[in-house]
Amino acid sequence: MRRRYHIHPPGLLYLLLVVLVGLAAANRPSNLLIWVFAAMLAGVLLSGILSGQPLMNLRAQRIMPRTARVGEPVIVRYAISNGSSAWPLFALFVREAAAVRGSRAFAQHVGPGEEVVAETALWPERRGPLRLSRFRVETVFPFGLVMKSVRFDEPAECLVLPRIERLRPGVLASLAGGSVPGPSTSTRPGAGSDFLGIREYRPGDSLRHVAWRRSASTGTLAVIERSVDAPPRIRVAVDLRRPTSQLRADADARAPRDLEEDAIVLAASLLAAAQRDGYETRLCVLGLPSPSMPMRRGHWHLQKELAVLASLDLDAARDAGASLPEDRERAATFVVHVDRADLRVAGPDAVHLGAGQLPALAGGAAGGAA
DSSP β-ladder status, 233-239 and 332-337: parallel
Of 228, 225, 226, which is closest to residue 297 (Cα–Cα)?
228
d(CA 367, CA 170): 18
Closest CA to 267 of 179, 364, 173, 161: 161
Asked if residue 153 binds other proteins (CB under 8 A), the reply is yes
Number of residues that bind other proteins (CB under 8 A): 68
Work out which of 8, 48, 64, 72 binds other proteins, going by CB under 8 A: 72
Q: How many CB atoms lie within 10 A of CB 100?
A: 17
Please report whether residue 201 would count as binding other proteins according to CB under 8 A: no
Q: How far is the CB of 164 from other proteins (least distance, A)?
A: 14
Site string for other proteins, 242-281 (x = CB under 8 A): ----------------------------------------
Task: Please answer whether residues 94 and 120 qualify as being in contact, where contact means their C-beta atoms are separated by less than 8 angstroms.
Answer: yes
Residue closer to other proteins (CB basis): 105 or 308: 105
Residues numbered 78 to 97 that lie near other proteins (CB under 8 A) are 82, 88, 90-91, 93
Q: Which of 55, 68, 140, 259 binds other proteins (CB under 8 A)?
A: 140
* Residue whose CB is less far from other proteins, 135 or 334: 135
Q: How far is the CB of 289 from other proteins (least distance, A)?
A: 19
**73 contact partners, CB below 8 Å, separation of at least 6:** 121, 122, 123
- Hey, what amino acid is at 161? L
**CB of residue 73 vs other proteins: minimum separation in angstroms?**
6
Q: Please identify, using beta-carbon distances, which residue of 165 and 239 lies nearer to other proteins.
A: 165
CA distances from 337 to 3, 89, 350 (A): 52, 55, 12
Nearest to 299 by CA among 272, 338, 263, 330: 272
Cβ-based neighbours of 312, under 8 Å, separated by 6 or more: 240, 264, 285, 288, 290
Tell whether residue 154 is a contact of other proteins (CB under 8 A). yes
Q: Which is nearer to other proteins, 114 or 342 (CB)?
A: 114
- The three-state secondary structure class of 13 is helix
Q: Is 109 in the site for other proteins (CB under 8 A)?
A: yes
Using rule CB under 8 A, residue 19 touches other proteins:
no
- Which residue among 55, 68, 76, 110 contacts other proteins (CB under 8 A)? 110
How far is the C-alpha of 197 from the C-alpha of 212, rounded, in Å? 14
Look at residue 233 and give its three-state secondary structure: strand
16 is a site residue for other proteins (CB under 8 A): no
CB of 141 closer than 8 Å to CB of 289: no
Distance CA 299, CA 309 (A): 15
Site string for other proteins, 30-49 (x = CB under 8 A): xxxxxxxxxx-xxx-xx--x
Rounded CA-CA distance 370/290 in Å is 22
Binding flag, residue 142, other proteins (CB under 8 A)? yes
Stretch that binds other proteins, among 111-119, 220-228, 256-264, 318-326 (CB under 8 A): 111-119
Q: Which stretch binds other proteins (CB under 8 A): 142-150, 176-184, 277-285, 339-347?
A: 142-150
Q: Which of 298, 314, 305 is nearest to 261 (CA)?
A: 314
| Residues lying near other proteins in the complex (CB under 8 A) | 1, 10, 17, 21, 24-26, 28-39, 41-43, 45-46, 49-50, 59, 61, 71-73, 82, 88, 90-91, 93, 101-112, 114, 116-121, 123, 131, 133, 140-144, 152-155, 367
